[in-house]
Amino acid sequence: MREMVNRHALIRRLASVETLGSVTTICTDKTGTLTQNQMTVTKLWVDGQFVDITGTGYEPVGSFFVNGEEITDLKQLPAARTALWVGTINNDAQLEPVGESEGRTTYRMVGDPTEGSILVAALKAGAAANVVNQNYPRKQEIPFDSARKRMVTIHNIVNPGHGDISPYVTDEKTNWFTIAVKGAPDVVLDLCTYRSGMDNTPIPLTPELRQEILDANDQMTSKALRVLGVAYRPVPEMPDEISADALEKDLIFVGLIGMIDPSRPEVKPALKEALTAGIRSVMITGDYPNTAKAIAEDIGLLRKGHQVLTGADVEHATEEEMREIVKITDVYARVSPEHKMKIVDALRDNGEVVAMTGDGVNDAPAIKRADIGIAMGITGTDVAKETADMVLTDDNYASIVSAVEQGRIIYSNIRKFVYYLVSCNIAEIMIIFLATIFGWNTPLAPIQLLWLNLVTDGAPALALGTEKGDPDIMQHPPRPSDEPIINKFMLKGIIVQTIAITATTLAAFLLGGGAFKGAPEEARVLSETFAFITLSLSELFRAYTARSEYFPLTKIGIFTNMNMNIAVLVSVALVIMVIYVPFLQTVFDTTALRWIHWVEILPLVLIPSIAAEVMKAITYKKNLARLASLED
């Protein structure tokens, strides 16, 4: 769990760690997960023309350009000022000054980055949000939700024209009210009857003008811009009914606000690593198809021959059609939370093990439906976090891949010490069993077995749990979710190790000369000591070979796990102490070995480790061939 937290993944359900190693598909949101979540307004479309805005991040420094020519006086662009005015008053974000840098005030954004970017653009135009809101105080609102894809606010016009960015520049409309709407361009456009001209004069919204707006939206989204539409309607008095039907009609469409959220630099290599690991990544976003496609192509998520689908397509598809659709779709755009569940269900019906990200309250059902539900730790709601199996503390897609890698390492380490302990303990059983069958003396006294298990099954086994993982841990396909921890490969290894350890220990027991009934007491004790030392050291040396199931010890290095070195050294010391400390010899029924005895038993001690390395060498060659085919 500590290692997971270090990789920005907080695991809420322990069993999820095992499932992480089996994940075959990651369904991820775009904003903040694949991108940096630092929106910057770079383009406006008003009255038939594009306005470019320079600057990045939350620093309110930038210029306005039309057709490459800088506009120094924004009075030349009244419609652009109106678009920023609507976006500023219909806004829940805040820009807070946090200090000074090179003589300029620096800000931090509190709230949604999309809304925050509009406040920055307005500040570039000379209008501070707090001043604008004082002169156009909000009286009522219909909050944004993912189903409606828009937000509505009502404002009193206290000081018209303040900041020189609003359309209210005459005293005639003082103390009027305005309805401001911001949301998905196509949704907002459907609510409008008029379009604002360059001088803010409303003109009827003809089908040709509607198509012009939609074409402009397509141009902006094709350049990976997230686009919002803004509209308003002045009214002489505060509306009596605060409902969508009453407020969202006869609006004046002002324009489009386009912003970009650059992809995270670490996402592209993370996507490549996931693909190498046999894990497919799917983008599910509320953005327009063009925007989603542009980002997906830029980061390498959209694969050749795969498609981009919209929420409307998902809505109308049957369950059978969805099972085929999800096989060739890498990007889902304009998706609602209920569509996410349909996508997850189709993927799971195809046998995929699905990880699903989410941050909102409405995402909770899809998060719960997935095999691994992942909530955003920064932008996620409490409901999403409570539902999730895992919480990302940095909201980063790369952390999901990193958590999958660590999940594989943890599961692999569990396999390693299960492999080690089971093979050693079965060998101990077979040693006693065969000696009894053959009618020999008992190779190990009960207290020797207890000491052996304490020494070899304790610290070395725990040290195996701290391994950093095989170098190719993310170059294997996901483990089948129904595969038992002791699979066929491990079973073969257990059989080989059981035979090797049993044979060498019994050989050492015979070598001592006291294996048979009636042997002199001195010979019997020496034989037991031979068996005890051979079994103990062979298991301790075997712990090194158990550090990887596939890679030879020469490839992973002897000194790369210091915990193992310390564990084995302490264990060897405890074993040696039992045969050389006089009062312990009596307790453990052992005798001190001379150097000639060590010469006889050390070759036997190394045989199990050599057998394990030979098995791995064969497997290693197969791994090299497989990796070469992956690179091709």
Tokens 């050693």 sit on residue: 424
Q: For 37, left (φ over 0), alpha (ψ -120 to 50), or beta?
A: left
**Rounded to 5 degrees, what are φ and ψ at 253?**
-75, 125
Residue-wise burial string across 248-274, b where 16 or more C-beta atoms lie within 10 A, e elsewhere: beebbbbbbbbbbbebbeebbebbebb
- In the residue annotation, 29 being an active-site residue is answered as yes
Structure tokens at 72: 């120094």
Judged on CB neighbours under 10 Å (0-12, 13-18, 19+), 482 is: exposed
Secondary structure of 187-213 in the HEC alphabet?
HHHHCEEEEECCCCCEEECCHHHHHHH
Judged on CB neighbours under 10 Å (0-12, 13-18, 19+), 305 is: exposed
CA angle 9, 270, 384 (to 5 degrees): 35
From residue 395, how far is each of 8, 14, 377, 569 by CA, in Å? 9, 20, 6, 43
Question: Which amino acid type is present at position 212?
Answer: E
Of 182, 186, 209, nearest to 333 by C-alpha is 186
Give the whole-angstrom CA distance, residue 18 versus residue 46.
Answer: 53
Tokens 């725990």 sit on residue: 462
Structure tokens at 206: 């003809």
29, 287, 371, 395: the catalytic one is 29
Question: Which amino acid type is present at position 14?
Answer: L
Tokens 């983008």 sit on residue: 283
Structure tokens at 123: 């500040």
Of 330, 388, 396, 327, nearest to 356 by C-alpha is 388
Residue 437 contacts by C-beta under 8 Å, 6 or more apart in sequence?
none
Give the whole-angstrom CA distance, residue 301 versus residue 275.
Answer: 9
Active site residues: 29
